[in-house]
Structure 1
Amino acid sequence: MFKVAVIGASGLLGRAVVRELAAETAWQVVPTAFRHGGPQQAVLDVRDAQAVSAFVEREAPDAIVLAAAERRPDVCEHDPAAARALNVDAVRSIAAAARRRGAWVLSISTDYVFDGTRPPYRIEDAPNPLNAYGHSKLEGERVLLETSDNALVLRLPLLYGPIVGWHESAVRSLVPAIVASAQPGAQAAPMDAWATRYPTFTPDVAFVIRELLLRCADGEPVRGIAQWSGDEPMTKSDIAGRLAQALGVEARLLAQPTPTDATPRPRDCHLDSSRLEALGMGRRTSFDAAIRAVLDAFTNRAAPGNA
């Protein structure tokens, strides 16, 4: 039986991966969470190298999907040591344990390893991160590929998908401000109209990861670096407008044509996905269809009387 460990299974992408892998009934999936485990979920602090080693030795997975990371650029900028512990040191520990086991490792990285000046970015293009987050993820990529010769870095852009709270994604975190701007007498909500992003639906990414795992299970693992991205370019202001339409509110939005974030961010890091497309992999759900499904599911779950 093919066995997959999903590390960081309680996060936005990790949950989507576990749901997707449920379709592979012949596989055994071992999800982990940082704090709150359960009957189907082990507790694992990936910053603890001994705990990581013991987990991999005990579970003996054939493949590991590493979805745990510090993904907030502002947090990384203010606490680079904490970012390094998750984005670099934990990757090294997992890669070393996987190498001893002979397991394939897939580690998630980011479009922020690029500076955003010359898109689209192919996997062979030279990285040039602008902030501590991008630097930590780039170092994590290098550590993974230096530690294991049976590993894949999967770079992804801005993610959104089924949520447990508005804070989980930079896409849905806009919703409270959008709703507030529609109230009588409210001020317009400022929204960045400078940087172009490519929102990517986590169930689509999970579908790609399952296809990669299928190749691994067949003895043909993809190694090195790959990228996957949505194909609809949008600024934060564009995203907010589409969200307002999906919510059915008359939001007042103020487009900001210059960057306002304290932490520097790249302008356009569109990732070229041709390596995976050439392998016949991939799926893209339109933003409007996906975000309506996400909002409807969250609203129904959060309604009084629903569990």
Structure 2
Amino acid sequence: MFKVAVVGASGLLGRAIAGELGQQASWQVVPTAFRRADSHMTVLDARDPQAVDAFIAREKPDALVIAAAERRPDICENDPALARALNVDAVRALASAASRHRTWVLSISTDYVFNGSRPPYRHDDPPTPLNAYGRSKLDGERALLETAERGCVLRLPLLYGPIVDWQESAVTSLVPAIAASVRGAAGATPAIMDAWAIRYPTFTPDVAVVIRQMLECHMHGETVNGIVQWSGDEPMTKYDIARHLAGALRLDAQFKPQHTPTDATPRPHNCHLDAGRLEALGIGRRTPFDEAILQVLTMFPWVG
């Protein structure tokens, strides 16, 4: 029996990972969460080193996947200590405990470790983060690689997938503004959408397949260590994403493109991640955006 612990299994990505791994007949999945743990999850505060050590010592997983993170750039900018507690210190505690029990560790990072000026970025390009979120995730990468006896960092871009509310992903968070801009609705005005920053929206079930394939490599003695990257391959601004969403929802929405950055927290222009290292191993799956977003909207239907 191959045993995998998933830390942060109640979040957008963690749910997809736990769901994919749970379909493997010969695998045992131990999902954990903190504030949003349900009856099928182990309650674990990843920021508590003693609790982390006790959890790893008790469960003795073959592999540990860290999906818990503070991923909101504005929150990280305003409270860097909060970001560091989850994105750096918790990763170090988990990696340290895993090393004591010879557990392979996979930690999730972000394309925001790059400044977005010279894409595409290889896994070994020098990181140059622009904001506190990117800096905290870069420090988390270093904490993992310095601490884990066997460990890997998986960098990912903008994620979307099955949601519990519109705000869970920066992709679906656009839906309320889209709905409010529909022509003919009372007081409707065009929704202003960023048309400057180029993103590569990536479907969480695809990422879960990538992680499952990486775990299969580990099972077969071909462990992937160091830094790897995965990304969707369709470049889109929020303006583009909004138009695709409106089409999927069959809404006659109005949009106004914003061609200059307006966010209070600096964000990179284009952090396209090169996924060549994983592709060379035969790892990967990419679902076209229009197909994937229909799956998301069908699971979480829009109510007008």
Query: Aligned to 1:299, what secondary structure does the other structure show?
Result: coil
> What is the aligned partner in structure 2 of residue 79 from structure 1?
79
1:1-307, aligned counterparts within 5 Å?
1-182=1-182, 183-299=185-301
Aligned-partner SS, 2:105: strand
Q: What is the alpha-carbon distance in structure 2 between the residues aligned to residue 16 and residue 277 of structure 1?
A: 21
Q: CA deviation at 1:266?
A: 0.2
Contact 2:191–2:254 (Cα < 8 Å) also in 1: yes
Cα offset for 1:35?
2.1
TM-score (norm 1): 0.97
* In 1: Cα distance, 2:285 partner to 2:83 partner: 31
- 1:219 positional shift: 1.9
**Structure 1 vs Structure 2 CA RMSD:** 1.2
Q: Counterpart of 2:222 in 1: which secondary structure? A: coil
- Secondary structure in structure 1 of the residue aligned to 2:301: helix
Q: Deviations over 1:189-235 (max 9, x none)?
A: 11000010000000000000000011111222100000000000000
In 2, distance between residues paired with 1:133 and 1:57?
Answer: 31
Instruction: Report the Cα distance in structure 2 between the residues aligned to 1:14 and 1:36, rounded to whole angstroms.
Output: 12
1:39 Cα deviation after fit: 3.8
Give, in whole Å, the separation in 1 of the partners of 2:36 and 2:133: 26
TM-aligned CA deviation for residue 299 of structure 1: 1.1
- Alpha-carbon distance in 2 for matches of 1:128, 1:36: 33
Question: What is the one-letter code of the residue matched to 1:217?
Answer: M
In the alignment, the residues of structure 2 paired with residue 108 and residue 165 of structure 1 have an alpha-carbon distance, to the nearest angstrom, of: 22
TM-score normalized by the length of structure 2: 0.97
Letter in 2 for 1:95: A
CA contact (8 A) 2:196 2:261 kept: yes
How many residues get paired?
302
Q: CA deviation at 1:290?
A: 0.3
**Alpha-carbon offset, residue 66 of structure 1:** 0.2
Describe the SS at the equivalent of 2:300.
helix
Q: How far apart in 2 are the matches of 1:266 and 1:36?
A: 31
Moved over 4 A (4+): none
Gaps of 5+ in 1: none
Q: Secondary structure at the residue paired with 1:277?
A: helix
Distance between the aligned counterparts of 2:25 and 2:259, measured in 1?
A: 49
| CA deviation map 1:24-79 (0-9, x unaligned) | 11111000011243442100011111111111111110100000000000000000
SS at match of 2:256: strand
Q: What's the offset of the Cα at 1:187? A: 1.5
What is the distance in 2 between the residues matched to 1:135 and 1:38?
A: 32
Partner secondary structure for residue 170 of structure 1: coil
Does the residue aligned with 1:58 lie in a helix, a strand or coil?
helix
User: Is the partner of 1:240 in helix, strand or coil?
Assistant: helix
Whole-Å Cα distance in 2 between the matches of residues 217 and 50 of structure 1? 28
